[in-house]
Structure 1
Amino acid sequence: MSKMVLLSRVVFCFCLFFVVAGCAQKKDSFKEKTIQQASISKINGVSLVAAPDSLLQKNIAPLKEIHANYATVMPFGFIKSLNHPEVIYNQERQWFGETATGVRQNIKLLHKNEMNVMMKPQIWVWNGEFTGLVKMASEEDWLQLENSYQEFILGFAKVAEEESVEILCIGTELEKFIEHRPEYWRDLIAEVKKVYNGKLTYAANWDEYKRVPFWDALDYIGVDAYFPISDSKTPTIAETRAGWERWKEDLKMFSEKKNKKILFAEYGYRNVDFSGKEPWKSDREMTSTNAEAQINLLEGLYQSLWKENWFAGGFLWKWFIAHEKVGGETNNQFTPQNKPAEVTVAKYYTKFNK
């Protein structure tokens, strides 16, 4: 072999090595970028308010426009008072969307449109009293409530399994019930797992989640995220981000301690003055309208949490199916529909869409 041929082959091999190495580096870079992208994909959900009528295809379009990839369906059970031991549900006089037939119809249409679903059966106490205070006066009443609530949850868990629902929430803001009957809840979770194979969570109130004793048996730490963020009439985005720092660190540490992602089972703000001070308030005495406050609070929330790997995402409170008839800038309740805040939701749901 001549020296010239040998030299040519050496040069060729040398060049080939760098080409292969370069391709490998690009492949690794692409892989790393893909992993990073996957790590910030979120549950971009809305809490779909149960309606008296069926969900229609036209009702899905606004959800697609904001790039929501999940919706909550919420069948309701009713308790006559805070110490009454019977859950009444799936009645003919209830709204269609609150019943088993209604949630089935909603789920089927959402799935047909490639949207995921969380089923969140909820309790409503007559006169709107806070469910966290539900507490029985005797052992007999506790046992009756436990049996009634289990029937309520297992009935809808079976519907969730039959309809391939992605997430099931086993309760919402039932602090005293859990505090006084913790073993019941572990037994309930075990019974639910016999009939339902999807992911499980519980929706703890913002000041309750650290005291829930059974997160190890669930898939997500569910939080209704009405954390006090700012005392300002119109908090800036910077103030909102600063207001989240304390809660964010607590949530991160708790997530790491339990080795579970945080899921906001509910989150949202009204477009009123001081809406970040006590975000859970829904009373009609707050008559102001403040679109900027709602926008800035949502912006600050998304900027603070949506990029975090320990955070799974959340469900915006709340969204009505009759989009064209609700919300608007004169409406000062939680929904962002037909308000400037709807653009904010769409911006971040687009950015973090699966």
Structure 2
Amino acid sequence: MKQGILLLFCFLQLACSSQYVGKINGVSFVASRDQVTQNNIQPIKDVYADHAAVMPFGFIRELNSSEIIYNTDRQWFGETRLGARQYIEVLHKNKIKVMVKPQIWIWRGVFTGGLKMESEEAWQALEKSYEDFILTYAALAEESKAEIFCIGTELEQFVVNRPEFWNELIGKIRKEYKGKLTYAANWDEFDRTPFWESLDFIGIDAYFPLSEAQTPSVEELKEGWKPWKEKIADLSKKENKPVLFTEFGYRSMDYTAKKPWLVDRSEEGVNMIGQVNAKKAIFESFWEEDWFAGGFVWKWFINHEKSGGPSDNRFTPQNKPAQDIIKAFYKVY
């Protein structure tokens, strides 16, 4: 009788904790000029991250340019196919799973969501170039046994204007790559992305505006999350797909949750508390939800000792109090 009660107790404990098992606790591993060494990986392990996004890049000259330049000897090592493969190999040796996330950079950092061609001929040229680009890295993801492949990042106008292309592209990727697929939709795009049913995760770059306060509290931020969270949960239920934050993060500056997507050289004052509170709020709001798969912190640089620090107001949590928040939550989940 006692043995039966003990087994039941253990079963209930397992059932109650099952929603916390298997979260994707990731970092966005920024490409560098250099190869990755074990010293570069250890700080990722130290915060209990079990996934990393490897991000090779393609470059476009203008918003209406159709040519994607990629995998050239003029790029940084980590931005190329060879570099991405080396990063994946070292991460895998450390039992860190990988999402391959090829991204496009438009000259001067113009937002990729506005990428739009002016003629049918130009659209077809872009489609051919993008297909070559993405299938190159889908093949790499399959060769290297990467666990997740992201088919695109924040390309709203491209997606909206050429839905048939994307549906066909997903089919071609599926033939090339046998792992899990997602797409990284911008925070204001995710509910209009038309092909979630064909993917494994609803991917969102989670830069939602939450508060206009200079230093919002955790409770203020959690309140700011409520309408967005409801909308995200509804989509997850409708599509019957888990949600993955393909990017999430906040700058260590004043008003960090007002426009979290800002990547300019803003001179807002350094504010470590704002970044800490925003990290706590997102973890407390999402990581216990069954329909939520996890996410990738934006962003994590290879040279840990030289990254972030007390005077830095950028996104990285490295060598800042926010790093300890990530470590604490990733250790639990």
Q: TM-score range by the shorter chain?
A: over 0.9
Partner of 2:9: 29
Once the two structures are superposed, the pairs formed by residues 282-293 of structure 1 within 5 Å of their partners are 282-293=263-274
Q: 1:164 aligns with which of 142, 145, 153?
A: 145
Q: CA deviation at 1:23?
A: 2.4
C-alpha separation between the residues in 2 aligned to 1:296 and 1:151? Answer: 42
C-alpha separation between the residues in 2 aligned to 1:272 and 1:310? Answer: 31
The SS at the match of 2:123 is: helix
Partner of 1:108: 89
Aligned residues: 332
Q: Deviations for 1:300-325, whole angstroms, at most 9, x for unmatched residues?
A: 11111111111000000000010001
AA aligned opposite 2:186? N
Q: Deviations for 1:193-220, whole angstroms, at most 9, x for unmatched residues?
A: 0010000000000010010000000000
Q: 2:79 aligns with which of 98, 116, 122?
A: 98
Q: 1:68 aligns with which of 41, 49, 60?
A: 49
C-alpha separation between the residues in 1 aligned to 2:187 and 2:156? Answer: 11
C-alpha separation between the residues in 2 aligned to 1:335 and 1:24? Answer: 50
* 1:203 corresponds to 2:188: no
C-alpha separation between the residues in 2 aligned to 1:83 and 1:283? Answer: 22
Once the two structures are superposed, the pairs formed by residues 170-319 of structure 1 within 5 Å of their partners are 170-319=151-300
AA aligned opposite 1:36? C
* 1:59 corresponds to 2:40: yes
More moved, 317-326 vs 279-288: 279-288
C-alpha separation between the residues in 2 aligned to 1:268 and 1:178? Answer: 24
Q: CA deviation at 1:287?
A: 3.3
Q: CA deviation at 1:282?
A: 1.7
Moved over 6 A (4+): none
Q: Deviations for 1:317-337, whole angstroms, at most 9, x for unmatched residues?
A: 000010001100101000000
* 1:39 corresponds to 2:19: yes
Q: Deviations for 1:160-193, whole angstroms, at most 9, x for unmatched residues?
A: 0010000000000000000000010000000000
Once the two structures are superposed, the pairs formed by residues 123-138 of structure 1 within 5 Å of their partners are 123-138=104-119
AA aligned opposite 1:107? I
* 1:337 corresponds to 2:309: no
C-alpha separation between the residues in 1 aligned to 2:178 and 2:223? Answer: 39
The SS at the match of 2:312 is: coil
TM-score (normalised: structure 2): 0.98
Gaps of 5+ in 2: none
Partner of 1:82: 63
RMSD: 0.8
Q: CA deviation at 1:39?
A: 1.7
C-alpha separation between the residues in 2 aligned to 1:292 and 1:227? Answer: 19
C-alpha separation between the residues in 2 aligned to 1:36 and 1:154? Answer: 41
C-alpha separation between the residues in 2 aligned to 1:254 and 1:153? Answer: 26
Gaps of 5+ in 1: 1-18
C-alpha separation between the residues in 1 aligned to 2:80 and 2:63? Answer: 22
AA aligned opposite 1:313? G
Q: 1:324 aligns with which of 287, 293, 305?
A: 305
Q: CA deviation at 1:61?
A: 0.9
The SS at the match of 1:44 is: strand
C-alpha separation between the residues in 2 aligned to 1:25 and 1:142? Answer: 65
C-alpha separation between the residues in 2 aligned to 1:135 and 1:345? Answer: 37
AA aligned opposite 2:239? K
C-alpha separation between the residues in 2 aligned to 1:346 and 1:97? Answer: 25
Q: CA deviation at 1:26?
A: 2.4
C-alpha separation between the residues in 1 aligned to 2:170 and 2:13? Answer: 38
- Which of the two has higher C-alpha Rg? 1
C-alpha separation between the residues in 1 aligned to 2:271 and 2:194? Answer: 39
C-alpha separation between the residues in 1 aligned to 2:206 and 2:101? Answer: 16
Q: 1:119 aligns with which of 100, 107, 111?
A: 100
* 1:154 corresponds to 2:132: no
